[in-house]
Amino acid sequence: MDLSLFIQGNTKLALYLPLFLLGASLGSFYFNLSYRILDLYYTQKRKTYKGLSRLKELLISPSHCENCGQNIPSIYLIPIFGYLFTRGKCKHCGYIIPLIYPIGEILFGLVAILVFQASNNMLLSFTCLALTGHLIISISTDATHFSLDYENLIWILLWGSIANYLLMNQFPGLEDLYVILGFGGFYALLYFFYPRGIGLGDVLFAPCFAFLCGHPWWMLFLNASYIPAVVLSLAFRKRDQKITNTPIPMGVYFCLGLFITYSCKILFTYYHILETESIPIYE
């Protein structure tokens, strides 16, 4: 066996394993944060917890079972393995733990590794994890209550802007300003003339997401958002229900579109996938 290859392989393992665990831990944090936001802001608890007490309950209070409220022992909080240790059930009430938790933790771990593998940039890897985490929060609130938290949009803009700078090493240009103004004007008019077909959250989120994608990536964002929205809405709507009367949580699909677009931007930047001579992406 070639000693250099052996050392190189072990070095990668020593780096990727803690990186995967970091990603999985952040995934566990953001999925738990999503649950707590739904619990504290969209139930009767919003009247019980206010101000600092709500913030403390949101960020500091021990993790507990979603059903019985019993605190979860530390060993069961280990990402992925905690689910295996509990066999997917609460030890006190038998509540079935949603499978999305371990799956989400694995996906976050993979995002951490894949972004670092492509970029060799630990900061970009962490930034993409944070951006993905806040997209998960918007997905959970919109999918559950057709509501998008405006406070969360600030964090998405922050982490998305940092990721853009790390990817392209440049600040937004005039073309990106045209993108947000164009999207903002279009969605504002749509909301004004057809308020039943679009929510105020969509009017704010869509232009900001398009701005983060930039030019010409906003075209991919638009298609990656609306194609799944239309296809899945047609597939899962009631038989006697028209597509125009089917409520669609567009915030979910905007987040999906933004995630897909950033994934493609990373592939293009570091692997030159999608690059063509006739369509320059970056000049």
Q: What is the pLDDT of residues 101-137, one digit of tens each?
A: 999 999 999 999 999 999 999 999 999 999 999 999 9
Mean pLDDT by 10 residues, the chain (283 residues): 52 85 96 94 85 84 89 92 93 93 97 95 97 98 93 97 94 92 95 84 96 96 96 82 78 98 95 60 50
What pLDDT score does 278 carry? 47
Q: 248 in a domain, yes or no? A: yes
Full residue range of the structural domain in which residue 197 is found? 146-283
In this structure, the answer to whether residues 1 and 113 fall within a common structural domain is: yes
What pLDDT score does 280 carry? 52
Residues whose CB falls within 8 Å of the CB of residue 158, separated by 6 or more in sequence, listed in order:
none
Distances (CA, A) of 127 to 87, 108, 124, 155, 215: 32, 12, 5, 11, 21
What pLDDT score does 60 carry? 87
Q: 238 in a domain, yes or no? A: yes
Among the listed residues 122, 180, 132, the one whose alpha carbon sits nearest the alpha carbon of residue 155? 132
Q: 31 in a domain, yes or no? A: yes
Among the listed residues 195, 256, 201, the one whose alpha carbon sits nearest the alpha carbon of residue 227? 256
Residue where a domain terminates, one of 102, 120, 138: 120
Residues whose CB falls within 8 Å of the CB of residue 130, separated by 6 or more in sequence, listed in order:
26, 155, 159
* DSSP 8-state code for residue 62: P
What pLDDT score does 8 carry? 55
Q: 163 in a domain, yes or no? A: yes
In this structure, the answer to whether residues 271 and 171 fall within a common structural domain is: yes
In this structure, the answer to whether residues 3 and 107 fall within a common structural domain is: yes
Phi, psi angles (nearest 5°) of residue 71: -60, 145
Q: 127 in a domain, yes or no? A: no
In this structure, the answer to whether residues 182 and 104 fall within a common structural domain is: no
Instruction: Give the integer Cα–Cα distance in Å for 168 and 124.
Output: 11
What pLDDT score does 274 carry? 60
